[in-house]
Every structure is written in structure tokens, then in C-alpha cells.
Amino acid sequence: MQNLERAIETTERIRDALTSEIEIARGERILIRNIDVEGLHARAAKRNEFNQRTAILQQSLATELAAVAQEMGSQDVTLDGLTARSPVLGRRISAVLAEVRALASSLSELDSMNRMLGQRALSYVRAHLAVLSPKPAAYDRRGAMGSDARTSTTVVRVL
């Protein structure tokens, strides 16, 4: 059951990474509110590092659980099977995985909220820019009709 203990430790590291990422994601709202472009770029780089670290941990967990399945003489690993084989460790990994699921759901909700706030900030910036540089109502600087006006589709034959 040494592989199962390693799997539990890996799952706990994933849980800890998610916990810290949630705290960082909560602070992202301030960057969006202040339209801090440099801060948002730095935050995106940190999120990319988190995604890479977590992907490595998930791959490690999959390898460890495959080793547990091999120890059990099975191709699949289920929480019920782990609990039947080792009640204490089975309940422990089940509890940690439940925490990971809850934290992943919370992070997803925070990301959705931050995306919505980002879209709202973008619409304010676009509206502000539209006020600063409005489209001409009649003619552009070359004397042509505005882009919203219809152009003629008449074909003229030149002899």
C-alpha cells in the first residue's frame, strides 16, 4: 500500500495547490477593476505555471493509481475497492479527492466571475474609446460616405 500512500500525498499536494490558486484568483478582481494590464499579464503567467505544475501532479497521481491497481491485481481503481482493501487509506483518499473536487469547482466559479468582470471592463474601455474617437456621421476625412452607408451596386459599361 506504499503506492496508495504516495497517491494520497500527491492528491494532498494538488489540494494545496488549488487552495493557494483560489486565494490568488480572488485577488485578480482588483487587477481587473484597476485595469492593470501588466498585473494581469503577470497573473496569466502564474496561472500557466500553476496549470503546468498541476498537470504534472495529475500525471503522477495517475501513475501511482495505476501501480495501486497492479498491486490489487485489477485494471481499475475505485474508491469502493480501495476502501474495501484498506479502509483507513481508502477513506482518507476519498476525503482528499472530495476536497479537490470542491476546490476545483470553486476555482471554476471564480474564473467565470473574473471572466465576466473582464468582459465588463473591456466593454467600458471600448465605450470610452468610441467616445474619444467617434465615427463621422456623414463623411470621412477623404470625403467618402461613412462605412455604415450603402454603396452603389450599379454596373456601368464603358465603351
Structural domain spans, the chain: 2-132
**Per-residue confidence (pLDDT) for residue 157, from 0 to 100:** 52
State residue 159's pLDDT score.
Answer: 47
Residue 147: per-residue pLDDT:
57
* pLDDT at residue 22 in the model: 97
Output the CA–CA distances (angstroms, integers) from residue 74 to 59, 67, 81, 119, 159, in the order listed: 19, 10, 10, 48, 86
Residue 25 has φ and ψ, to the nearest 5°, of -65, -30
Interatomic CA distance for residues 158 and 32, integer angstroms: 58
Cell of 16: 494545496
All residue ranges of the chain with pLDDT < 70 are: 136-137, 140, 145-159
